[in-house]
Copies of this chain bind each other. A is one copy, B any other.
Amino acid sequence: MAKKKPVRKETAESMGARQREISVSEFFLKNRHLLGFDSPRKALLTTVKEAVDNALDACEEAGILPSISVELRQLAENRFVVHVTDNGPGVVRKQIPKIFAKLLYGSKFHRLRMSRGQQGIGISAAGMYGQLTTGRATRIWSKTQRQACAHRIAVQIDTKTNKPVILEDEEVEWAPAFHAEDPHAEPVTAHHGTCVSIEMEAAYIRGRLSVDEFLKQCAIVNPHLQLHYRVVLLSKKDPKADAAQSDFIGQEPPWTVFARGVDSLPPPSGEIKPHPHGVELGVLIQMLKDSSARTLKVALTQDFSRVSDKAAHFICDTAGLSPKAHPRRIAHQESEALYKAINEVKLMRPPTDCLSPIGEEQILAGLQKEIKADFYTAVTRNPTVYRGNPFQVEVGLAYARPGENADLGGDDPVRVLRFANRVPLLYMGGGCAITKSVNSVNWKSYGLAQPKGSPPLGPMVIMAHMASVWVPFTSESKEAVAHYAEIIRELTFALQECGRRLSVYLNKRKRAAEAERKRGYIEKYIPHLALGLHDILKFSDQEQTKVEAALKEMLERTHLQV
């Protein structure tokens, strides 16, 4: 056995000499499970999710109806390359390296606007995971409307400095192409767009936590999206591969196309300014320091939402400050008085027209398209506010007749589809405010069985969507919504409304089934009744038939009135 080396006693000086800066890349490389890269299966999903989120955000901001294609191509047992192509506005050459190979870089973090991305980590983290597991660079093709040629760039992250390292950089002839289901049809080419390609250790497994499921749910809540998808697997030897798909060795499998459901973009979501009542003291100080205004009054009215001139004067009076004071001076000396005064003044709630919910109609359309059921309903609540951040909650529900949908067992817990800013959330359901809300509603009162503290049982799908300018996720991997009381309350109200409607439907169906049973019973006896009348009243055969028909008609009418 190796002898234990004596450990040197440290001093303040020797310890000081070992202190070092840790780059954010190094940190997340060592803690990659925090970003959703714990396993090869989850890594594949996270990569697709981050790339698709970015593509959709870019298209919507540029007012382009999104076409996105996703290809997963297997290179070896445990290795895939993920290609995601969009017809978005493209990325200017200068920004490509940083956007794709620098953690904490982006345009969405510093604003209050509803978007899928918000952290500036996702796609660079996917590239870093690829680099970690395969040593390969992230490859990007991008063409903007103004450029004649596309840029093709290969980048890696220098994890020690969190800076991009450009390995290849050239101008190429390229345009994003989208292939039809029919392999003989010509692909449709767009004039601008971006393609990102990442090689990585990954595992492709079907099921509830798969890329397939993610993209299917994406299509439900983004009916304006046209999505092309295929998985190219290596060979039949791969036990996880379908025979159908792995037959296409040498010859490529066809694309699955999720057609566009609506030809218009969702109403664009606006950017808002922070509401004074949601701002903490430290943030207030920072905002005053950064303000371009030269007086406190202007800073208050210009940098915050809902502060009128009158309100600004009231705040200054309450705090005993001059409205003409310089914001930077206040930041250093009197910020606490200002903070207290701000929280005493009555202000309008934050503007909520910055949100772009899916809408009841679209939710119904999405559910009807993707889930076979008998009863559908949807509720979009009015926007409200948590910690100064506007948000809005929507719930949809689909209930199948027994045996109508093979995917939905009558005695199984209902399926819950969770979404945040139109992005499906697949993992960590247990820690999510949506799951918690579903479990805490009393579904028994709406006619469903429900074990205590669990989801209800039945052939049913619940979908819930939270839209906000800032979704509070429980981790950097953005898989679950944190348990804010305001969010849970809104979700509960929406679920209860859907539940009440479901109970009306279930009661009606119960009555209809009862009537049906009675009708069958009577119908069976009509000929005997007519025969009896024939005997008693001495009807002719012709009269008997007539009476029979009349009785049937009467029954029909009664039935319709049920």
Contacts and interface: CB of A to CB of B under 8 A. Distances in A.
Contact of A27 (B21, B89, B104): B104
Contacts of A58: 15
A9 B98 contact: no
A437 to B, nearest CB: 18
A23 B21 CA distance: 14
Given A13-B146, A119-B27, A22 B105 contact: yes
Interface in A101-146: 102, 104-107, 109-110, 119-120, 128, 131-135, 144-146
A283 B248 CA distance: 36
Contact of A135 (B15, B23, B159, B335): B335
A99 B11 contact: no
Interface-central residue, A23, A280, A482, by most chain B CB under 10 Å: A280
A34 B477 CA distance: 11
Interface in A423-437: 430-431
Nearest to A99: B19
A10 B109 contact: no
A472 B12 contact: no
Contacts of A280: 132-133
A21 B99 CA distance: 10
Contacts of A23: 104
A2 interface: yes
A94 interface: yes
A447 interface: no
A269 B5 CA distance: 10
A34 B476 contact: yes
B270 A19 contact: no
A22 to B, nearest CB: 4
Nearest to A62: B10
B135 A11 contact: no
Contacts of A89: 10-12, 15
Interface string A14-50: 0110111111101101110110001000000000000
B7 A268 contact: yes
Interface of A: 2, 4-5, 7, 9-13, 15-16, 18-24, 26-27, 29-31, 33-34, 38, 58, 61-63, 89-92, 94-95, 98-99, 102, 104-107, 109-110, 119-120, 128, 131-135, 144-146, 159-160, 192, 268-270, 280-283, 285-286, 335-336, 351, 353, 430-431, 470, 472, 474-476, 482
Instruction: Report, nearest first, the 10 A-B pairs whose CB atoms are least far apart.
Output: A132-B282, A12-B144, A7-B268, A16-B92, A9-B63, A22-B104, A18-B107, A10-B61, A12-B89, A16-B95
